[in-house]
Homo-oligomer: A and B are copies of this chain.
């Protein structure tokens, strides 16, 4: 299995994802929220990058079966049903609902991953489930970190590095195909014993802490609290295949 990793979706050309499985990571907080929402019974997650498009889409759907969630600058958007905290996506809020998710970095990354042959949504909370799905599919993979405002983010690189590390340890024939894949593994090795601390010290972790979302940051550092892997299908993330 050939493994590439990208610290941001910017500059990822077709040749980097064609015929491959994309694995999208936005730890703080979109792919964590995606796993939590689907784990709590949401029917599907539709990622949207533009706030106006998100609101328009809600109007086209059955209002009682949809929740519009997301953030700008980390905060819930005026008129939205939910923000971007995993604690808002409990069964009462999302069971059997379509979730429209409009986040700054994560939605764009998921849509980029959706251009690949197959696309999975990964976070620390569902890392092992994602790993198992990757090993089942057996495609070459392109790990796409969402990053932060177009740039590198530590938390996504750490999760990507953990995934790379576990893939290399899985016993299969694995090959790291770019500098970023190699570097992410080293970064994970450096911080693996204090991932939660590293997340709180990251740029976006500090920002979320400053907004009062410290519990979110700690939650997003939890490994394997969910044994599900959201997959991309026809413009949405779902557990159904």
A47 CB to nearest B CB, Å: 19
With most chain B CB atoms within 10 A of its CB, the pick from A179, A190, A203 is A179
A7: interface (CB < 8 Å)? yes
Scan A139-178; emit 1 where CB is below 8 A from any B CB, else 0.
0000000011111111001000000000000000000001
Complex Cα–Cα for A202 and B180 (A) = 10
A118: interface (CB < 8 Å)? no
A218 CB to nearest B CB, Å: 18
A137: interface (CB < 8 Å)? no
A1: interface (CB < 8 Å)? no
Contact of A7 among B151, B182, B186, B203 (CB under 8 A): B151
Number of interface residues of A (CB under 8 A): 26
A8: interface (CB < 8 Å)? yes
A219 CB to nearest B CB, Å: 20
Q: Which residues of B contact A8 (CB under 8 A)?
A: 8, 10-11
Q: Are A186 and B190 in contact (CB under 8 A)?
A: yes
Contact of A10 among B10, B183, B202 (CB under 8 A): B10
What 14 additional pairs, Cβ within 8 angstroms, besides A11-B151, A179-B202? A6-B151, A7-B7, A8-B8, A8-B10, A10-B150, A11-B147, A13-B149, A13-B150, A151-B180, A152-B152, A152-B183, A157-B183, A178-B203, A183-B187
